């Protein structure tokens, strides 16, 4: 008798541009940033504008940033495993830190080029191409910003917000580039060619200084996450308020530890419960605390560590444990309520 072979249905391969994944926004960001960087830097080089060339270099960092973003998002989606118990969220922090460093290097290069250019005069070429492309770029950049913010709200990945803020700043900078080019064009048309060149160099320096705002803001936060700095006091106060709501059931609260890795917030709480409390009772207390923390911080991963008390609340065969007394009182009130309802 010939054995039958059962063919399992083949799993459909997901498209790399599946709009239901956070990598969709990352891939769109990468493609658009590459095209803008290529055209912007080429125009700046051909027309001889340091401002536009610098704009192209910053756009080039957006390409690298988008590539890092795509890698970080793909890894951050992975769940914790045996090798990385706390997940892969630090890929986000590392990506933000690398991107911030690149923009810092661009700032140093721009200042160096501006100082060098003061010694040699080179007129800027055709302004019309630069102005038209800046207007188009500003519109496209703001649309990418809106797309990334939409996906950030949906998937709660901090690196998506970081990239969205970069695109927003870039769109505002493009408007600044537009104003700068228009003024340079007016000065150049009136015969003030040297002044137009100086205005272009000064604008390039101000441009990169403004572009540093987001990397400094998010770069500092990424370093704190990489070094596992504890979360702000406001977060700890909120956790303490949750514990305070359950203080009647707890003998002692020892400590709370909190750290963040990407979108995941790891919360570890040490508490002391009565030595004779059943596993079921302890689980109910833990469930109440965890559910409340999850309602405050949906991306949090709370863990409760329980230690039995040292029985130091028992004196002369009298139990003075406040948690035990509260459980007895609660049990009596529950029984009385049941008796009243039966009557």
Closest CA to 302 of 317, 314, 292, 312: 292
Tokens of 16: 């790399």
Domain co-membership, 88 together with 141: yes
Is residue 219 included in any domain, yes or no? Answer: yes
Contact 96, 222 (CB under 8 A): yes
pLDDT band at residue 147 using 50, 70 and 90 as cut-offs = very high
Domain co-membership, 128 together with 160: yes
Is 0.85 surpassed by the pTM of this model? no
Domain co-membership, 71 together with 102: yes
- Where does a domain end: 226, 243, 266? 226
pLDDT band at residue 291 using 50, 70 and 90 as cut-offs = very high
- Where does a domain end: 188, 206, 226? 226
Domain co-membership, 151 together with 269: no
Is residue 4 included in any domain, yes or no? Answer: no
Is residue 60 included in any domain, yes or no? Answer: yes
- Give the mean pLDDT of the chain: 76
List all residues 6 or more positions away from 2 whose beta carbon is below 8 Å from its beta carbon. Answer: none
d(CA 184, CA 200): 7
Query: Computed from CA positions of residues 62, 204, 134, 173, in that sequence, does the dihedral angle turn out positive or negative?
Result: positive
d(CA 329, CA 141): 63
- Give me the residue label for tokens 């901090």: 158
d(CA 49, CA 204): 9
Characterise 33 by phi-psi region: left (phi > 0), alpha (psi -120 to 50), beta (else): alpha
**pLDDT at residue number 343:** 52
- Where does a domain end: 175, 192, 226? 226
Domain co-membership, 263 together with 135: no
Q: Which of 163-172, 208-217, 270-279, 282-291 has the highest mean pLDDT?
A: 282-291
Whether residue 342 has pLDDT greater than 70: no
**pLDDT at residue number 269:** 93
For residue 271, the Cα-to-chain-centroid distance in whole angstroms is 31
Is residue 156 included in any domain, yes or no? Answer: yes
Is residue 6 included in any domain, yes or no? Answer: no
pLDDT band at residue 339 using 50, 70 and 90 as cut-offs = low
Whether residue 107 has pLDDT greater than 80: no
Mean pLDDT, range 202-222, rounded to an integer = 73
Characterise 286 by phi-psi region: left (phi > 0), alpha (psi -120 to 50), beta (else): alpha
Is residue 51 included in any domain, yes or no? Answer: yes
- State phi, psi for 192 to the nearest 5 degrees: -90, 65
What's the structural domain count of the chain? Answer: 2
d(CA 257, CA 236): 9
- Give me the residue label for tokens 């795509």: 70
pLDDT band at residue 8 using 50, 70 and 90 as cut-offs = very low
Mean pLDDT, range 233-256, rounded to an integer = 87
Mean pLDDT, range 302-317, rounded to an integer = 80
pLDDT digits (tens, 9 = 90+) for 164-203: 887 888 888 778 778 877 887 788 778 887 777 777 777 7
Burial of 15 by CB count in 10 Å (0-12 exposed, 13-18 middle, 19+ buried)? Answer: exposed
Tokens of 242: 């949750």
Q: What is the CATH number of the domain that holds 38?
A: 1.20.1510.10
pLDDT band at residue 79 using 50, 70 and 90 as cut-offs = low
Domain co-membership, 212 together with 261: no
Using DSSP bridges, classify how beta strands 264-273 and 252-261 pair: parallel, antiparallel or unpaired: antiparallel
Domain co-membership, 218 together with 279: no
Domain co-membership, 212 together with 237: no
Domain co-membership, 212 together with 297: no
Is residue 5 included in any domain, yes or no? Answer: no
**pLDDT at residue number 121:** 47
Domain co-membership, 57 together with 192: yes
Tokens of 171: 């769109």
Q: What is the CATH number of the domain that holds 258?
A: 3.30.70.1350
Whether residue 148 has pLDDT greater than 80: yes
Domain co-membership, 254 together with 318: yes
Q: Which of 15-24, 87-96, 326-335 has the highest mean pLDDT?
A: 15-24
Percent of the chain with pLDDT over 90: 8
Domain co-membership, 324 together with 242: yes
The domain containing residue 139 runs over which residues?
22-226
Is residue 129 included in any domain, yes or no? Answer: yes
Percent of the chain with pLDDT over 70: 72
């Amino acid at each position: 008798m010939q054995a039958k072979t059962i063919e399992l249905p083949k799993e459909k391969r997901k498209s790399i541009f599946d709009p239901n994944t956070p990598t969709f926004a990352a891939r769109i960001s990468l493609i658009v940033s590459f095209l803008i960087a290529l055209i912007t830097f080429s125009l700046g080089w051909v027309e001889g504008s340091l401002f536009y060339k610098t704009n192209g270099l910053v756009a080039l960092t957006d390409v690298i940033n988008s590539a890092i973003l795509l890698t970080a998002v793909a890894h951050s989606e992975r769940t914790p495993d045996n090798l990385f118990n706390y997940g892969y969220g630090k890929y986000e922090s590392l990506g933000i830190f690398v991107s911030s460093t690149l923009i810092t290097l661009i700032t140093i290069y721009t200042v160096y080029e501006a100082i060098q250019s003061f010694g040699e005069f080179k007129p800027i070429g055709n302004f019309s191409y630069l102005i038209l492309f800046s207007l188009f770029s500003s519109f496209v950049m703001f649309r990418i910003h809106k797309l990334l913010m939409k996906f950030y709200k949906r998937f709660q990945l901090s690196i998506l917000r970081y990239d969205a803020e970069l695109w927003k700043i870039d769109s505002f900078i493009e408007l600044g580039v537009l104003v700068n080019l228009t003024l340079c064009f007016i000065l150049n048309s009136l015969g003030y060619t040297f002044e137009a060149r100086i205005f272009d160099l000064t604008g390039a320096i101000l441009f990169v200084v403004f572009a540093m705002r987001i990397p400094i803001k998010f770069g500092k936060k990424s370093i704190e996450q990489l070094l596992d700095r504890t979360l702000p006091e406001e977060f700890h106060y909120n956790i303490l308020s949750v514990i305070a709501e359950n203080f009647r059931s707890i003998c002692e609260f020892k400590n709370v530890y909190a750290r963040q890795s990407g979108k995941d917030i790891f919360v570890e709480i040490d508490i002391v419960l009565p030595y004779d409390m059943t596993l079921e009772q302890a689980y109910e207390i833990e469930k109440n605390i965890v559910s409340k923390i999850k309602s405050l911080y949906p991306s949090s991963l709370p863990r409760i560590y329980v230690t039995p008390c040292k029985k130091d609340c028992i004196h002369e065969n009298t139990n003075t444990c406040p948690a035990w007394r509260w459980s007895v009182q609660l049990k009596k009130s529950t029984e009385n309520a049941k008796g009243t309802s039966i009557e």
